[in-house]
Amino acid sequence: MARRARDEGVLVIGLGRFGAAIAVTLESLGTQVLAIDEHEDLVQKYSGQLTHVVRADATQPEVLDQVGASDFSVAVVGVGTSIESSVLIAANLVDLGKPVIWAKAISTAHGRILQRIGAHHVVYPEADAGKRVAHLVNGRLMDFIEFDDDFAIVKMRPPREVQGKSLAESDIRATFGVTVVGVKSPGKDFTYAAPDTMVDPHDLVIVSGHTDLIEKFSNRP
C-alpha cells in the first residue's frame, strides 16, 4: 500500500468476527484496509475478500514497524479472546503515537486497561448487542440505537392512539416526550416529519428521545 493510502486507511488487527466485519465493510465503502492476523486459516479465508491481508503477530513491536502501522490514521484492535494480546497490541500502537486506536473489550476490566494505556475508543460489541436485542425483544421496536447520554433513536410501529392522525393532531412530543423524526410508508420513500405528516397503521416511524420515554411510548398498545 502506498504511503498516502495508509494515511487515509485503516489498520485492522485480528480477523475474528468483529475485526473481519469491520475490515470487509470498510473495504466495501472504499476505505483502504490492511488486515493482520497471526492465524493462517483466517488470513486465507479473507484473502479473497480483502485486498491487503498479512499473517503476522502484532504483539511484537517490530511487526508493526514492518507493516508501517505508524502511517495509518486509524487502527482497530479486534483481538478479544486473549486479553494479554489485546493489551500488548494496543500498547504497541500507543507507543507509535500516530493512529487513532479503536479497541474491542470483552469486559469492563479489560476496557479500563485499554483506556488507561491510551486507546482512544473502547467498544463492547457483545454487551452492546445484548442491550440492543433486549430492547428489541421487549417491545415493538424494530431497530434501536442508544447513545452515551441515555438518548436513543429507534424504528418502530406506531401505537394505535396515534394512528390515522397527523403529528400535529397527536402532539406526540408534548404528550409522550419523544420526537418523531420521520415516517416510512409501505412502497414510499422516507419522509421527514412535519406537523401535517399522517401516521397510518402500517407505517414505520423513526423516533428519538430519552431511552426510558421511548420504551414507554413503544409499549403503548
Q: What is the pLDDT of residue 125?
A: 87
Q: Is the sign of the CA dihedral 174, 176, 179, 180 positive or negative?
A: negative
pLDDT band for position 5 (cuts 50, 70, 90): very low
Mean pLDDT of 179-200: 94
Cβ contact 161:170 at 8 Å: yes
Which cell numbers hold the place of 188? Answer: 414510499
Mean pLDDT of 49-77: 94
Query: Mean pLDDT, the chain, as a whole number?
Result: 90
Q: In Å, what is the CA distance from 7 to each residue of 51, 96, 215?
A: 17, 14, 43
Listed in sequence order, the residues at least 6 apart from 41 whose beta carbon sits closer than 8 Å to its beta carbon are none
Q: In Å, what is the CA distance from 118 to each residue of 8, 29, 175?
A: 21, 28, 45
Mean pLDDT of 162-190: 94
- pTM of model > 0.75: no
Cβ contact 53:19 at 8 Å: no
Write down the CATH number for the domain with range 128-218.
3.30.70.1450
Rounded to 5 degrees, φ, ψ at 34 are -120, 120
Q: By three-state DSSP, how is residue 156 classified?
A: strand
Q: What is the pLDDT of residue 129?
A: 76
- pLDDT above 70 coverage of the chain, percent: 94
- The amino acid that residue 160 corresponds to is R
CATH classification number, 3-123, choose in 3.30.360.10, 3.50.50.60, 3.40.50.720, 3.40.50.1950: 3.40.50.720
Q: In Å, what is the CA distance from 205 to each residue of 18, 119, 153, 155, 156?
A: 30, 37, 10, 6, 6
Quick one: residue 88, left, alpha or beta (phi over 0 = left, psi -120 to 50 = alpha)?
alpha
Q: What is the pLDDT of residue 7?
A: 56
- Helix locations, 48-176, DSSP H: 61-66, 83-96, 108-117, 125-138, 167-170, 172-176
Q: What is the pLDDT of residue 135?
A: 67
Provide the residue ranges of all domains of the chain, joining segments of one domain with +.
3-123, 128-218
Higher pLDDT among residues 80 and 192, named by residue:
192
Termini Cα distance of the chain: 56
Return d(Cα 166, Cα 182) in angstroms, integer. Answer: 12
> pLDDT tens-digit profile of 122-173?
998 887 777 777 767 766 788 888 886 789 999 999 999 999 999 999 999 9
Q: What is the pLDDT of residue 221?
A: 86
pLDDT band for position 190 (cuts 50, 70, 90): very high
Q: What is the pLDDT of residue 3?
A: 52
Q: What is the pLDDT of residue 139?
A: 64
> pLDDT tens-digit profile of 11-55?
999 999 999 999 999 999 999 999 999 999 999 999 989 989 999
Q: By three-state DSSP, how is residue 120 classified?
A: coil
Return d(Cα 93, Cα 70) in angstroms, integer. Answer: 8
Q: What is the pLDDT of residue 197?
A: 94
